[in-house]
Amino acid sequence: MVLINFFISYSIILYIKFVNWKFADSFVNIFSFVLTLQESLKMENKIYEQSEKLILAQKYQKQKTFLTVVSSLFLFFYTFLFVLFFLKQDENVFELGPFFSGVCYFAIYFVLRTFLSLPFEIKQSFKLPRKIGLSNETFFLWITNQIKSFLLVLFFGSLASGVLLVCIQKNPDYWWLYFSILISCIFIFIFLFGQTVIAPLFFNFEKLSDTKIENLLLNLKKKVGFKGQNHIWVMKTKKHGDYANAFVCGFGPTRKIVITENILEYNPEEIECIVAHELAHQFYSHNLFLCIYKIISFAVVIYFFKFLLSTELFYFYSNGLNISSANTIGIFLVFFSVLNFFISPILLRVSREIEFACDLFAFKHVTKPKNLITILKKLCVRNYCDPSPSLFSKFFFYTHPPFSERINRLISFLN
């Protein structure tokens, strides 16, 4: 399974690099791939003019990483112990039929998990950002959004768990296929309508009314020959914090570029660079590709899990557990956590290569390429990012390349 994902992921990386070479000389690419750690460290002082703020940003990111690692380990052991406890208990506790047994099992698991993780969440996503001034959320606003997230996960998780047990009981041989189809429908719904249906539960959105920025997008689309329909939407975030960000959502008729309202504080040429980077994601159909990849990889994971359940080794260590038992849900959560630990670094590597490709796309098509470097520096400082994180942090947590690497690579293109 890991080898399959490894092969797919690195095939994607090679494709991305091939696309990049269409826009830049191959020598420049090779040169940019071998930037040294020393150059990255030098870049820190060029990004952060105040060393005190650099130290504060690095400390903040290290604390976040530490809390993430500790909480992940803690919750993994909680899940493992939860499964052990219910190995024989669920037959006596859950006599509600497959669907409601699955719903109750996940509900109990997730409610307990939420309470156990709450101290970590308060520290990591509420106290730390407020301490450095990145967030200005009130506790009421923060806890309200946490409750909304909790209810969403509880609803979809309970529904999926109930359907999983129904599929296993009704179709012992092909349950993995039916369950994969159901989850695929959820993936497609989220990719298509997540920003329209789910995101407004947490943030307010409005269509961009600045015609100057809209014209920048139109000009960029003409330059690259992109004929797809898209719009720029502004996410109202000032009551949440001072961070600045941009992203794309949807594909086909629902595609959108979303920017936080703090982005509008930058000058039009810098905003052009941000929009160009996001347009690259749409130009290369990254969201569509990601949706397809998730569907295929999930189906492979579920099939592999079905194979695992049928082995004598599993039967022995689970004390003869019936696979239609509610505890199969917990075993899947443990299985997925372990598998994700090995696969995640590969997927993150793919994600970082995609971001490099979008940087290069923007660099190629904006009016003043130097502004791309300027805005990356400003975003790094504003969001209290570590320009040169540890290899461990980058390997396991970074969906985007560190800012020092992105800026160094763009400087090499300029030269």
Which pTM value belongs to this model? Answer: 0.84
Span 215-231, average pLDDT: 80
Span 289-295, average pLDDT: 91
Q: Residue 357: is its pLDDT beyond 90?
A: yes
- Name which residue leads in pLDDT, 235 or 89: 235
| Distance in angstroms (rounded) separating the CA atoms of residues 322 and 335 | 17
State residue 218's pLDDT score.
84
| 162 neighbors 102 (Cβ within 8 angstroms) | yes
Question: For 131-167, how does the pLDDT look when each residue is reduced to its tens digit (9 = 90+)?
Answer: 998 999 999 999 999 999 999 999 999 999 999 999 9
Amino acid at residue number 105: Y
Question: For 231-269, how does the pLDDT look when each residue is reduced to its tens digit (9 = 90+)?
Answer: 789 999 998 999 999 999 888 788 889 999 999 999 999
Q: What order of strands is seen across the sheet that includes strand 256-260?
A: 204-207, 232-236, 256-260, 246-249
Span 283-300, average pLDDT: 92
- Name which residue leads in pLDDT, 358 or 13: 358
Residue 89 banded pLDDT, cuts 50, 70, 90 = low
Q: Are strands 256-260 and 232-236 parallel, antiparallel or unpaired?
A: parallel
- 140 burial level (CB within 10 Å; 0-12, 13-18, 19+): exposed
| Distance in angstroms (rounded) separating the CA atoms of residues 405 and 33 | 9
State residue 226's pLDDT score.
80
Span 333-355, average pLDDT: 93
In the chain, domain spans: 2-205+276-414, 206-275
Amino acid at residue number 35: L
| 331 neighbors 302 (Cβ within 8 angstroms) | no
CATH 3.20.190.10 for domain 206-275: no
| Highest averaged pLDDT of the listed ranges 96-105, 109-118, 189-198, 231-240 | 109-118
**Lowest model confidence (mean pLDDT) among 100-104, 230-234, 388-392:** 230-234
Long-range contacts, 296-300 (Cβ 8 Å, 24+): 297/5, 297/8, 298/180, 298/183, 298/184, 298/187, 299/176, 299/177, 299/180, 299/184, 300/1, 300/4, 300/5
State residue 362's pLDDT score.
95
Residue 92 banded pLDDT, cuts 50, 70, 90 = low
State residue 35's pLDDT score.
41
State residue 410's pLDDT score.
94
State residue 70's pLDDT score.
96
Q: Residue 108: is its pLDDT beyond 70?
A: yes
State residue 117's pLDDT score.
97
Closest CA to 8 of 284, 301, 206: 301
Q: What is the DSSP letter of 253?
A: G
Q: Residue 323: is its pLDDT beyond 90?
A: no
Give Cα 104 distance to the centre of its chain: 28
State residue 4's pLDDT score.
40
State residue 91's pLDDT score.
54
State residue 381's pLDDT score.
92
Question: For 7-57, how does the pLDDT look when each residue is reduced to its tens digit (9 = 90+)?
Answer: 344 344 433 443 343 333 333 343 344 443 444 445 555 677 767 888 899
First to last CA, the chain: 42
- Percentage of the chain with pLDDT > 70? 84
- Percentage of the chain with pLDDT > 90? 61
φ/ψ of residue 324, rounded to 5: -85, 5
| Distance in angstroms (rounded) separating the CA atoms of residues 332 and 165 | 12
φ/ψ of residue 259, rounded to 5: -125, 145
Instruction: List the alpha helices (DSSP H) in 249-311.
Output: 268-283, 286-309
Q: What is the DSSP letter of 326?
A: T
